[in-house]
Structure formats: C-alpha cells, structure tokens
Chains A and B, each alone.
Chain A
Amino acid sequence: MRVDVILEYLPLYLKAALLSAGIGLSSIVLAILIGMIASMILYYRIPFLKRIISFYVEVSRNTPLMIQLFFIYYGLPKIGIATSPLVCGIVGLSFLGGGYMCESIRGGLESISESQVESAMALGMNKKQTMRYVILPQALRASLSGLVANMIFMLKETSVLSAVSLMDLMFTAKDLIGLYYKTTEALFLLVVFYLLILTPVILLGHLAERRLTYGKMGV
C-alpha cells in the first residue's frame, strides 16, 4: 500500500464523504420526521390514513433501496416528475428510512401502558399534552436502540447511491479503481471513511442510551 497514493486520493474521498454523510444525515432527519407522523397515525388508528401508512411501511421496508432509487430516478420522469440525483438520493433514502423509523417509534408508543395514559388524563391533561409530556418521552426512550440501529443502517445504505450517478464514497472508490487499478488504497480509504462517518453515530447512540436508560428509567 502506497502512502503517496492515499494522500493523493484523500481530497477526493473527503469530498465524497461529505456528500454521503450529508445525504445520510439529512435523510435521517427526514426519516425520523416521517416516522413520527406515520407512527402517530398508526397509534391513534386514524381511519383511512392508517391503511395508507401500513401500505407505505410494507412497501418501503420490503423493497431494496436500489430499486426504490431506480424507480424515482428512471421511473418517475416517465410521468413527468424528473429529479436531480441529489434529490433522488435524499427522497429515496428518507422513503426507506421512514418506514423503519415508523415501526421503531410505533413499538415504543405501544409499549406505554394504557394506565399511564389514564393517569395523565386523570390529572387533567388533554390528548396533546398527554402525548407530548407523558407518552412520547417514554416511547422515544423505549425505541432509542431501534432508532440508532436504523440510523446506522441508513448511513450504510448510502453506499448504493452511486447507482443514480451521485459521486459518493462508493462511486469515488469504483472510479479510482477503474482509472488507476490501485485497488488496495482505494478500498482501504473506503473502509476508513465509512468508519469515520459511522463511529461517532454509534458512540453517541451508546451515550444517549446509557444516560437515558440507566440514569432515569426503570419501572
């Protein structure tokens, strides 16, 4: 392995890593938002909407990201919705992640017993206050490990974004290998950069779980 090659590649990888991480993180934010709204609809069993959400969750979780991306990138333009690779990447990843986030949060919401809800109502809280101050804080804590796992999963899934010609880490590595045949250096950097993106998320996840679970919870 040659250090000079690695140093030469470094700026390219850095740029690609920013793109991968950027798409990953913005999709995570959107996915959590989608998951929150979708899980509330399922939790409150809102007629009609709950069917749409169940359908969405099944579709998003049971089709590979690559196929979802192809559908958005090559399929939608046929009905007049053309998107840039960047938008396609974020929309595709959020679509996928939203389904997973929804299921994790719903699991958390449903783990809160009916009697906790009654106890909040007996203290005069309305539905919104009960959700905001009693159910949601407990539910998010209960679903934290699932949420962190989904975040890690989504960041790893960014590796297929090159399929819609985004110059992400995977694209850069493949490109450099094709151009110069320096396979070892290119793949080494790929691994290092993915670790650099993922490790902080994993550490933060552990930290959050420790603080929230041991410090304050218990029944």
Chain B
Amino acid sequence: MTILSLEHVTKKYGDFTVFNDLDLKINEGEVTLIIGPSGSGKSTLLRCLNRLEDIDEGEITFHDAPIKSETHLRENVGMVFQSYELFPHLNVLDNMTLSPRIVQKRSRKEAEQEALSLLERVGLKDKAKSFPHELSGGQRQRVAIVRSLCMHPEVLLFDEVTASLDPEMVKEVLDVILDLADEGKTMVIVTHEMAFARAVADRIIFIDGGRVVEEGHPEDFFTHPKTERAQQFLQNLTYKRRKRL
C-alpha cells in the first residue's frame, strides 16, 4: 500500500531545475534508500516529502489523497536531520514530549511514559533530564530519532543522519535505524554509508541530475548495476593503489 507519493513533481531554485516531472512512491513497511552524488537533489527530494520545500509543479499525496495541510502531513511524516536539531533550551524528555503535547494534545504523563520507554530502548533512559549540550553527537542523534517516533509518524525521513558523526558513533545510530527496519517501519533514508544502505534497504533509488537513474533491489543494484552512471558511481566508492613501491 502506498502511503506517500510524489506525482509529476518539479522543483526549481530560480532558473535551476532540481528535478523535473519526478514520480516516487513510498510503500508501507518498505525501507527506501535514496543515493546519488552530491548535488543530485537527494536531500531536496526528501524535504519535498514533508513539504519543508515547496514544489513548483505536481502533487504530493498521502494515502492516495491530496494533503490536508502541511502541519497534518508533517505530523505523520517524521524527519531526522544531519545536525540533530534538538531544542537546546529543553531537556531530553521535554524535547521529546513538546510536540506530542502541543500538537497532538496528549497528556504530559502519557507522553512522558512513552518517551521514557523509547529512551530505554535506545539505551538513554538515564539521560532523560540531560540537556542536549551534555550529550555526545551519537546520543543526540538517537534522541532526535526517538523524538520523531514520539509523534507516531507513519513514515520517517532520515537526511544524512550520520554525516557529522565520528565513525564510532555512526554505528550506534545506524543500529537504531536497523532495529526500526526490523520492526517494519516505513522509512526513506538519504545516506552516504553504502554498507549500511545495502544492509537496511528494501529498495534503492539512485538519482543523478534530478532524475531517477536506477531503481531496484539492493543486492542487484550493488552487484550488477544496470546503468553506466550507477556503475561509475559505485566504482568511485572503491579504492585501489595504482602503484606500489
């Protein structure tokens, strides 16, 4: 079942067309990985899915109907950012319960209970009363993920969530995402971590120059890419010494 779809979407920045007449369907329970070179429009595409970016043409549908309002869409489509974007003036628990309380009008007690059990799941229950600046990058990003989960979104978007983390912290964050994938969460992930992409993906979408160049199953994509552009892209990820003295 399709939860979220882009139909004939065109996005421009001034004269520059990021993508033109693009279609994309996000199906329930599926983990979709968007990969491609820098500047190919991956992040912009992701941001269009929750309307953080306006689109110039085309339509975004949610459960096969036009979206009711941007806030309604965003309530149901969570997003995690590269730079975590926790609210620095609130502690971890308040960061997580703010939106459930003011947007979904849930009680503080119920929201806090859920937040605590989510924190426990990602091993951060003892940090509930800490402020974001007291946490490491990996911890902040795990909090950002469970903060989105608190809203019970139907789809979660991840925008290069490990790009500013130390290598050791990358794993603790990716493990959380793998865990969510096992649970059957619908996710759309933009990442540069190819090993992770291969492990977590149900579907790979390779975009370049604002077009979907190739789409397919991760094993097929990584072992036998069909298009020349994808082959070239994947080749750039492996290194060989040309000369050894």
Contact = CB atoms under 8 A, between A and B. Distances in A.
Size range of the chain A interface in the assembly: 20 to 34
Contacts of A129: 102-103
Interface string B81-99: 1010111110000000011
Nearest to A129: B102
Nearest to A132: B102
B52 interface: yes
B92 to A, nearest CB: 12
A119 B47 CA distance: 11
Interface in A195-219: 216-219
Size range of the chain B interface in the assembly: 20 to 34
Interface string B126-161: 000001111000000000000110010000000000
A141 B148 CA distance: 26
B79 interface: yes
Contacts of B52: 118, 121-122
Contacts of A115: 81, 83, 85
A122 B74 contact: yes
Contacts of A64: none
Contacts of A118: 52, 81, 85
Contacts of B83: 115
A64 to B, nearest CB: 37
B218 interface: no
B75 interface: yes
B71 interface: yes
A189 interface: no
B89 A124 contact: no
A122 B79 contact: yes
Contacts of B79: 119, 122
A116 interface: yes
B41 interface: no
Contact of B147 (A123, A133, A217): A123
Contacts of A124: 71-72, 74-75, 99, 103-104, 151
A134 B87 contact: yes
Nearest to B50: A122
A77 interface: no
A196 to B, nearest CB: 34
A120 to B, nearest CB: 8
A125 interface: yes
Contacts of B132: 218
Interface in A118-167: 118-126, 129, 133-134, 137-138, 141
B78 interface: yes
Nearest to A123: B99
A129 B98 CA distance: 10
Contact of A216 (B75, B89, B148): B89
B85 A125 contact: no
A133 B88 CA distance: 12
A218 B133 CA distance: 6
Contacts of B72: 124
A133 to B, nearest CB: 6
Nearest to A218: B133
A67 B26 CA distance: 66
A74 B201 CA distance: 76
B88 A123 contact: no
A133 B102 contact: yes
In the complex, the 9 A-B pairs of residues with the closest C-beta atoms, listed nearest first = A218-B133, A119-B85, A124-B75, A123-B99, A122-B79, A124-B103, A124-B74, A137-B89, A126-B71
